Amino acid sequence: MEITPDVFAAYLECPTKCYLRATDEPSASNTYPKWVQAQNDAYRTTETERLIAESPNNEVARSPAVENVMAAKWRLAINLVTSTRNLRTSIHAVERIPSEGRGQSAKHIPIRYHFANKLTRDEKLLLVFDALVLSGMLGRKVSMGKIIHGDDRATLKVKTSVLTGEVLKLTAKIATLLSNTSSPDLVLNRHCAECEFQARCRQKAIAKDDLSLLSGMTEKERKRLNSKGIFTVTQLSYTFRPRRRPKRLAAKPEKYHHSLKALALRQGKIHIVGSPELAIEGVPVYLDVEGLPDRDFYYLIGLRVKTAKGIVQHSLWADSAAEERRIWGDFLDVMSRIESPVLIHYGSYEKLFLRRMRERYEGPSEGSSLEKVLASPVNLLSYIFARIYFPTYGNGLKERAKFLGFEWTAKDPGSGLAFGTGEIARNPDKAHADRLQRRGL
């Protein structure tokens, strides 16, 4: 079975996803991967047209035949389909630099496009995959590649030799994986939230009562438990033994017990360690922020506060990065009109937002009451962690709230489809992508 960039990219995210894609397993509807593919396709089309416009017509070749590449005179090839051994790729573009003298070969530089402003290691590995296939076809090393990405069409040059060894090892593992007649052992991971096979894999994991359902458990911890004969959440639940903490450790944070989490799930009950107390002196103001880490831009600040007239909710929207300063000012204005506010949030993202905004724009004057409020928000997640164990597989707010009986009016509250106006509404799943990345859901 041939290994393509699509299969290679899937393996970087999850071996099971790689196998399912390679064997054409039907997938459930998931808007996020479709949105990512559409963005990349549109970006590739736009950038291809730009490169063609910047090159003389007689120096551009569209989908050139592989057998003519060695003797080619073109300077830019678009969509070069090539293969070697069990690898096949369609390279977005190839730049050809003529030889500098007799006896020297022309240089071929593969080019990939990616719509995001920030690149991950995966994009570099995909470029080196293209270079590896191209070098196999040419019969000589391809030492350099380029990734054109982002709104400003930034160009990143990559020395392929640095990652070639890693790509060779990965392709060997993929070949071994695809040679099997059955899919690999199922292990849920952080990528599941944005995968088209999420529902399928989760259903199977629940049927197996697999340890990977516990989202906070690392692979190392899982393997250690497996070596002791513990493979299911139920088995793990029977290993919990309550112990009295020594007085000398009373001031230290409580250790997180996966076994107690498993026990909570088996019994369907909330378990509490110690006697946690949360004292809020002031008016609780619940804060939720959404942003695009790819653009380093916050587009929504949500506030919810109880007043004498009832619950008041503020949704402060920015349709572009240029409006971020405005919604920050609006946020400060709302906060200044609340007597003795106490900011409450879930997770570390909001605390990071407050710090960045105070550094990026004007904030409350130093030493003022509002400055102290912004510097000391209450993170409910850090308060709950290792103290209160809900019978939910993950630590996400929606999972815990659902157990407590709360329901969302939106059919899919995590999809980002029910948004307001402007740029974010036109691209709602971009917001969902951010939510998945920053929440680790």
Q: Give the per-residue pLDDT at 35.
A: 86
Give the model confidence (pLDDT) of 255-290 as tens digits: 899 999 999 999 999 999 988 888 899 999 999 999
Instruction: Provide mean pLDDT across the span 126-138.
Output: 95
Q: Quote the CA–CA distance of 316 and 122 in Å, as a whole number.
A: 35
pLDDT at 57 over 70: yes
Neighbours of 120 (CB within 10 A): 10
Residue 67: phi and psi, rounded to 5, are -65, -15
> How far apart, in whole angstroms, are the C-alpha atoms of residue 432 and residue 18?
23
Q: What percent of the chain has pLDDT over 70?
A: 91
Residue 193: the pLDDT is 86
What is the model's pLDDT at position 421?
34
CA 221 to chain centre: 22
CA–CA separation, 435 vs 350, rounded Å? 12
The model's pLDDT over 146-157, given as tens digits with 9 standing for 90+, comes to 999 999 999 999
Rounded Cα gap, residues 24 and 1, in angstroms: 12
3-state SS class at 440: coil
d(CA 3, CA 174): 8
Q: What is the pLDDT of residues 223-259, one digit of tens each?
A: 999 999 999 999 999 999 988 777 776 667 788 999 9
Please check the confidence at residue 339 and state whether its pLDDT lies above 50.
yes
Going 25 to 430 to 50 to 155, the CA torsion angle's sign is: negative
**pLDDT given at position 176:** 96
Domain annotation for the chain: domains and CATH numbers:
5-178 (3.90.320), 209-269 (no CATH), 283-439 (3.30.420)
Q: Which of 68-77, 111-120, 221-230 has the lowest mean pLDDT?
A: 68-77
Least confident of 20-29, 208-217, 367-376: 20-29
Give the Cα separation of 246 and 264 in Å (integer): 24
Asked if residue 124 has pLDDT above 80, the reply is yes
Q: Is 111 left (phi over 0), alpha (psi -120 to 50) or beta?
A: beta
What is the distance between the alpha carbons of residues 315 and 3, in angstroms, rounded to a whole number? 47
Decide: 247 and 311 in contact? Cβ < 8 Å: no
| Cβ atoms of 163 and 125 closer than 8 Å | yes
Predicted confidence (pLDDT) per residue in 301-319, tens digit: 999 999 888 999 999 999 9
Contact (CB, 8 A) for 324 and 318: yes
The larger pLDDT score, comparing residue 365 to residue 13, is at: 13
